[in-house]
Chains A and B, each alone.
Chain A
Amino acid sequence: MKLDWTDEETEFRAALRASIQTNARPGWTLDDRDMPEPADVEAVKRFCAALGEDGFLTPHWPRAYGGREASPWEQLIISEETWRAGEPRGGQYMNTNWIGPALMAHGTSDQQAQYLTPITKGEVNWCQGFSEPDAGSDLAALRCRAVRDGDTYVVNGQKVWTSYAHAAEYCFLLVRTDPDSPKREGNTILLVPMATPGIEVREIPNPYAHHLIHEILFTDVIVPVSCRLGDENRGWDIVRNALANERVGIARHAHSEHVLDRTVSDATNHGVDVDDPSVADTLGMAYAWCEAARAMNYVAVAERISDPHGSRPMAAVSRSITGPMEREVAWACQEVLGDQALAGGTEADRQVVTGTTAMIAAGAYEVQLDLIGRLCLDLPRGK
């Protein structure tokens, strides 16, 4: 056990940080990650292209696909440094973390040729079309239908809460192809160009952020069979794997820590005595939560290295610390800044968004606790 970064890892981080500094749009924040304006979409693409040029977009990918098989620790460092900078990759972290790998594992050579290179060049945004109005935590209850018609599928239905849908060129879409089979069977993945006629994206209004969430309506959308990923009715396994990759090593702690640092300086500017014992107590607790989230994030990465095909209980443990950490940090900022926290545009204000959504998006907190009960504590299933 060595709880230090190696010299190579430290150099990697420094070079990456310099690249982010050079290439990210000045003043980038987590709000911009949702790409509310067309200029933000372009900024994300420019940034990812530059990151790719510098070798920091997909270094963990296999050599055959343009990577250099960098370690999962380097992948984590990328996540730490990009989150710290407000994630200037926008939604493209999905491309590199799990959409690309899913294409490598299940795609045809034509699909790989078509989709992977644009990802490595940062040219493309994808969105994840899984959740539906009646299929959230119980994702297997999805109903969005794809009916085979010769060499095409005809898709009808609705996806909801979709991030980045307004900016995406493609949707990684989970559809039901066999409504009569059991819930986890009969589902298929389609790689759907968002420009296809019959697709309508609507922003869902909310008081948190512009273009945070969307719904996608599919009306008689014709998708060629060549856009299917993997076998028909075998989509669930792909999704399960994709979600496992999606949920490990997202370094939210790096951003939250930065939010606390900024809040301390904002508070000082507003005359708050941050050395006051009760203020320091609140801040110290929140920082301790960030460190706890960091520690378990690292454990989850180590588990991924040592047991890549196992049930990965530490991934659930990590997420069950990270979600509450976001909330603790959000409330700490509110407490420390008082009414000043309500002024838009501060990190404290933005933290309300992630503090609210982190325990819901990408799988509810309670589902993680269920997993821990089963995988770590051997507790019996409920009725």
Chain B
Amino acid sequence: MDLQLSVEQQLLDDSLRAMFGDHAGLDRARAMAGSIDRDLVTRLDDNGFLDVCAEAGPIEAILVAERASEAVAAAPIVARVLVGPLAGFTDLPPLVGLVGSADGLVRYAGHCDAYLVLDGDEARLASRDDVDVEPVQSRSAYPMGRVRVRRSESMGPGSGHPLRRAWQVGIAAETGAMSLAAVEFASRHVRDRHQFGRPIGSFQAVQHRLARSYSMAQATRWLARRGAWHHSDEYHTAAAATFACLTARETYDNTHQVVGGIGVTSEYGMTEWTMRLLALHAELGGRRAHARRVAQSRQRLG
């Protein structure tokens, strides 16, 4: 067991942090509202970051996922960098969307070159020309839509399970990183904001909400990393997604509560994370669906 990043992983993480620092972040996310950041994806592609999973491994892919998510990158990077490769898809175009059911809502629907489709026990690949997209208005901070698949290529019987597991890991990776960023954002707020003659962050009631979210977000981050490493193990991947949903909710509630009125404005920016957490919390059936899979896979293990 070794939880430290290797020297190469640390270097990768440093360059990712620099790249997303320069080319993503809150202002950029706001500027991209309802759209997709193609420039960022091209930049990642040019630098070889989209294919780190095959070339280096799942931990490297999850580092990209984490940095993209904390920087609220306005593109389905996690689907392309982590979910697709872990599910066994190769040679994917830069922009891929994830379709969970026939009438489910899909993030970045209409903006992607291809879609990975979970169709019961099967995973399928559909190109943009083979789907119809009905845009759906949503407050979730993602461009959303329903994707109706006309034609697709099956990855074979049973291929749906790896896709679902990889997707669960992706949900956890995004949730962990976004929650940590949202908690950091809210912490900055409560350090600066004074009421009753003192920073509101000096009130224990405020501190404890943020501390609780921070702990759960850390746990989610590490469950996602473990899920990526053990991505063929349903118990691990479903546990990661279940805990991610708990964390998303906890972080949503706690960060909004301690930031107060300004937190609900578009101008302040915190909703860039929290509205995305709302969407992640619901994906693939949400917490209950993931939790049932945890229980079922545990019984199979037993």
* Complex Cα spacing A3 to B224, Å: 11
Dominant secondary structure of chain B at its interface with chain A: helix
Which residues, 123 to 172 on B, are CB-close (under 8 Å) to A?
Answer: none
B210 touches A377 (CB 8 A): yes
Q: What residues of chain B lie closer than 8 Å to A382, measured between beta carbons?
A: 202-204, 207
Binds B, one of A39-47, A81-89, A275-283, A341-349: A275-283
Q: What residues of chain A lie closer than 8 Å to B89, measured between beta carbons?
A: none
Select one of B201, B211, B242 contacting A284, CB under 8 A: B242
Q: How many A-B residue pairs have CB under 8 A?
A: 171
Q: Verify if B90 is at the interface (C-beta below 8 Å from A).
A: no
B187 touches A292 (CB 8 A): no
Q: What residues of chain A lie closer than 8 Å to B238, measured between beta carbons?
A: 284, 288
Select one of A73, A280, A299, A380 contacting B201, CB under 8 A: A380
Supposing A284-B294, A373-B208 touch, asked if A1 and B214 sit within 8 A by C-beta, the answer is: no
* Complex Cα spacing A260 to B230, Å: 22
Q: What residues of chain A lie closer than 8 Å to B246, measured between beta carbons?
A: 285, 288
Dominant secondary structure of chain A at its interface with chain B: helix
A46 to chain B, nearest CB (A): 31
Q: What residues of chain A lie closer than 8 Å to B266, measured between beta carbons?
A: none
Select one of B5, B214, B222 contacting A372, CB under 8 A: B214
A291 touches B243 (CB 8 A): yes
B223 touches A291 (CB 8 A): yes
Supposing A372-B214, A372-B215, A379-B207 touch, asked if A302 and B239 sit within 8 A by C-beta, the answer is: no
Q: Verify if B190 is at the interface (C-beta below 8 Å from A).
A: yes
Q: What residues of chain B lie closer than 8 Å to A4, measured between beta carbons?
A: 1, 229
* Complex Cα spacing A372 to B207, Å: 9
B236 touches A291 (CB 8 A): yes
* Complex Cα spacing A260 to B287, Å: 19
Select one of B3, B207, B216 contacting A373, CB under 8 A: B207
Select one of A6, A264, A317, A366 contacting B215, CB under 8 A: A317
A1 touches B9 (CB 8 A): yes
Q: What residues of chain B lie closer than 8 Å to A261, measured between beta carbons?
A: 298, 302
B302 touches A264 (CB 8 A): yes
B243 touches A317 (CB 8 A): no
* Complex Cα spacing A283 to B183, Å: 28
Q: What residues of chain B lie closer than 8 Å to A274, measured between beta carbons?
A: 295, 299
Select one of B4, B59, B230 contacting A306, CB under 8 A: B4
A1 touches B290 (CB 8 A): no
Select one of A1, A291, A378, A379 contacting B5, CB under 8 A: A1
Q: What residues of chain A lie closer than 8 Å to B207, measured between beta carbons?
A: 369-370, 373, 377, 379, 382
Supposing A317-B214, A370-B207 touch, asked if A380 and B1 sit within 8 A by C-beta, the answer is: no
Select one of B190, B198, B208 contacting A383, CB under 8 A: B198
B208 touches A281 (CB 8 A): no
Q: Verify if A289 is at the interface (C-beta below 8 Å from B).
A: yes
Q: Verify if B92 is at the interface (C-beta below 8 Å from A).
A: no
Supposing A320-B212, A369-B208, A370-B204 touch, asked if A284 and B290 sit within 8 A by C-beta, the answer is: yes
Q: Which of A1, A261, A380 has the most CB of B within 10 A?
A: A1
* Complex Cα spacing A282 to B37, Å: 39
Which residues, 235 to 265 on B, are CB-close (under 8 Å) to A?
Answer: 235-236, 238-240, 242-243, 246
Query: Closest residue to B201 on the A side, CB-wise?
Result: A379
A264 to chain B, nearest CB (A): 7
Q: What residues of chain A lie closer than 8 Å to B187, measured between beta carbons?
A: 377-379
* Complex Cα spacing A284 to B295, Å: 4
Supposing A1-B6, A377-B210 touch, asked if A295 and B223 sit within 8 A by C-beta, the answer is: yes
A-facing mask of B183-208, CB < 8 A → 1, else 0? 11001001100000011011110111
Q: What residues of chain A lie closer than 8 Å to B204, measured between beta carbons?
A: 366, 370, 382
Q: Verify if B43 is at the interface (C-beta below 8 Å from A).
A: no
A interface, CB within 8 angstroms of B: 1-6, 9, 73, 260-261, 264, 274-275, 277, 279-285, 287-289, 291-293, 295-296, 298-299, 302, 306, 314, 317, 320-321, 366, 368-370, 372-373, 376-383
Q: Can you give 15 contacting A-B residue pairs, CB < 8 Å?
A: A1-B225, A3-B226, A264-B299, A281-B288, A283-B294, A283-B295, A284-B291, A285-B246, A287-B298, A288-B239, A288-B291, A292-B219, A292-B220, A299-B3, A369-B212
